[in-house]
């Protein structure tokens, strides 16, 4: 032993027997890389599901030995932070505000590199102003042409009742072209006491009546908005009636009543409206019907025409009948 209490060993070369024994031991040992190693993935799966199949264990070992990419921690942290912020925005009801701010930053970046809109060509507008069209399309002075969704802008434009169709084209790098097809004001429609302006397809263009639309024909009643064009085509064949027509009233979504400028109501049948109007025109031509003191002309029955006199005319007629009967009695006496 040496002075430290240790067994002194020769520092020279080992004996042949010792060297052979050491080589045999090294041969029996498995290399460190080949030893079975329990990875966190396989440990978690084994803890949850019990012993794993051999193929699954090997797959877990291969995944566990993959090198971690450089910067993976930074990316993972950013992803978790982004997910947390998104969740908080959704839960707090601020998603719209967050999206708007992101779009502003996105458009600002694109404008800075040369994709700012410098010119917008509009065509087809007559009732709508330039500002109204751009506002409906969602285009402002900060919008970049790079991030405009032309399909979405077209759908937005068609939500305006005046616009029947629209086209949006991007002309890179900095110009935009918008074309619209506007509906025309066709008539006035009254329902539940409220009057608005409609197109020929029944679309309500305005919920109020501007002065420039005051002369349009008036249709009244539920369903009259969608049947106005069809009835106008029929009444247009009778200019004498069309000239005196002030309103067409749809009754129970089945038939029409006409209100003329002299206050006379013409009650039309459900079917054969043209035939009833032919009889009405003939009666006016032969007996000057519309000049008489009447309030109602009933054409609902195909074999007769009923006329209602005004109160004054009815009273005068009653007096005339009484006088006639008195004369007849006096002559008989």
pLDDT at 59 exceeding the cut of 80: no
pLDDT at 185 exceeding the cut of 80: yes
- My answer on whether 203 and 294 are in the same domain is yes
pLDDT of residue 4: 52
Mean pLDDT on 55-62: 64
- My answer on whether 169 and 203 are in the same domain is no
- My answer on whether 245 and 300 are in the same domain is yes
- In this structure, what CATH number is given to the domain that contains residue 297? 3.40.50.11690
- My answer on whether 133 and 221 are in the same domain is no
- My answer on whether 247 and 216 are in the same domain is yes
- Top pLDDT among 271 and 312 is at 271
pLDDT of residue 36: 46
Residue 251 falls within a domain, yes or no?
Answer: yes
Q: What would you report as the CA-atom Rg of the chain, rounded to the nearest whole angstrom?
A: 46
CB atoms within 10 A of CB 85: 12
- My answer on whether 150 and 136 are in the same domain is yes
- Report residue 154's pLDDT band, with 50, 70 and 90 as the boundaries: very high
- My answer on whether 177 and 191 are in the same domain is no
pLDDT at 247 exceeding the cut of 90: yes
State how many domains the chain has: 2
- Top pLDDT among 313 and 119 is at 119
Residue 62 falls within a domain, yes or no?
Answer: no
Domain hosting residue 287, numbered range = 187-308
pLDDT in tens, 100-125: 666 666 667 776 777 889 999 999 99
Question: Using alpha carbons only, what angle is made at residue 150 by residues 170 and 184, rounded to the nearest 5 degrees?
Answer: 105
pLDDT in tens, 175-184: 999 999 999 9
pLDDT at 310 exceeding the cut of 50: yes
Look at residues 182, 209, 234 and tell me which one is the last residue of a structural domain: 182
Residue 79 falls within a domain, yes or no?
Answer: no
pLDDT at 72 exceeding the cut of 80: no
- My answer on whether 174 and 206 are in the same domain is no
pLDDT of residue 23: 47
pLDDT at 260 exceeding the cut of 70: yes
- In this structure, what CATH number is given to the domain that contains residue 146? 3.10.20.310
- Report residue 292's pLDDT band, with 50, 70 and 90 as the boundaries: confident
- Report residue 327's pLDDT band, with 50, 70 and 90 as the boundaries: low
Q: Are residues 238 and 277 in contact, defined by beta-carbon separation less than 8 angstroms?
A: yes
54 phi, psi to nearest 5 deg = -65, -40
- My answer on whether 170 and 239 are in the same domain is no
pLDDT at 186 exceeding the cut of 90: yes
- My answer on whether 240 and 219 are in the same domain is yes
pLDDT of residue 328: 63
pLDDT at 1 exceeding the cut of 70: no
pLDDT at 52 exceeding the cut of 70: no
Structure-token pair, residue 8: 């002194």
SS (H, E, C) the chain: CCCCCCCCCCCCCCCHHHHHHHHHHHHHCCCHHHCCCCCHHHHHHHHHHCCCCHHHHHHHHHHHCCCCCCCHHHHHHHHHHHHHHHHHHHHHCCHHHHHHHHHHHHHHHHHHCCCECCEEEEECCCCCCHHHHHHHHCCCCCCEHHHCCHHHHHHHHHCCCCEEEEEEEEECCCEEEEEEEECCCCEEEEECCEEEEECCCCCEEECCCCHHHCCCCEEECCCHHHHHHHHHHHHCCCHHHHHHEEEEEEECCCEEEEEECCCCEEECCCCCHHHHHHHHHHHHHHHCHHHCCEEEEECCCCCCCEEEECHHHHHHHHHHHHHHHHHHHHHHC
- Report residue 229's pLDDT band, with 50, 70 and 90 as the boundaries: very high
């Amino acid at each position: 032993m040496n002075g430290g209490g240790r067994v002194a060993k020769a520092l020279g070369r080992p004996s042949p027997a010792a060297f052979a024994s050491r080589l045999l031991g090294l041969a029996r040992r498995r290399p460190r890389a080949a030893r079975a190693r329990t990875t966190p993935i396989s440990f978690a799966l084994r803890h949850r599901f019990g012993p794993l199949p051999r193929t699954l264990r090997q797959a877990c070992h291969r995944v566990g030995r993959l090198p971690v990419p450089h910067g993976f921690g930074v990316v993972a942290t950013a992803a978790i932070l982004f997910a947390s912020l998104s969740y908080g925005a959704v839960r707090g009801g601020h998603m719209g505000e967050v999206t708007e701010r992101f779009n502003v930053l996105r458009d600002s970046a694109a404008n800075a590199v040369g994709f700012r809109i410098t010119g917008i060509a509009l065509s087809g507008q007559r009732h709508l102003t330039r500002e109204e069209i751009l506002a409906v399309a969602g285009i402002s002075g900060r919008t970049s042409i790079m991030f405009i969704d032309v399909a979405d802008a077209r759908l937005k434009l068609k939500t305006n009742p005046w616009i029947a169709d629209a086209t949006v084209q991007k002309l890179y790098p900095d110009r935009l072209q918008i074309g619209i097809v506007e509906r025309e004001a066709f008539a006035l429609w009254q329902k539940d006491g409220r009057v608005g302006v409609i197109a020929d397809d029944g679309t309500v263009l305005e919920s109020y009546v501007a002065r420039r639309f005051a002369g349009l024909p008036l249709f009244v009643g539920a369903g009259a908005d969608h049947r106005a064009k069809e009835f106008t085509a029929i009444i247009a064949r009778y200019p004498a009636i069309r000239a005196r027509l002030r309103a067409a009233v749809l009754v129970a979504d089945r038939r029409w009543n006409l209100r003329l400028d002299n206050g006379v109501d013409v009650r039309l049948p459900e079917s054969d409206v043209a035939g009833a109007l032919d009889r009405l025109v003939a009666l006016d031509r032969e007996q000057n019907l519309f000049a008489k003191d009447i309030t109602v002309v009933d054409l609902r029955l195909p074999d007769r025409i009923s006329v209602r006199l005004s109160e004054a005319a009815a009273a005068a007629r009653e007096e005339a009948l009484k006088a006639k009967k008195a004369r007849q009695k006096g002559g008989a006496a």
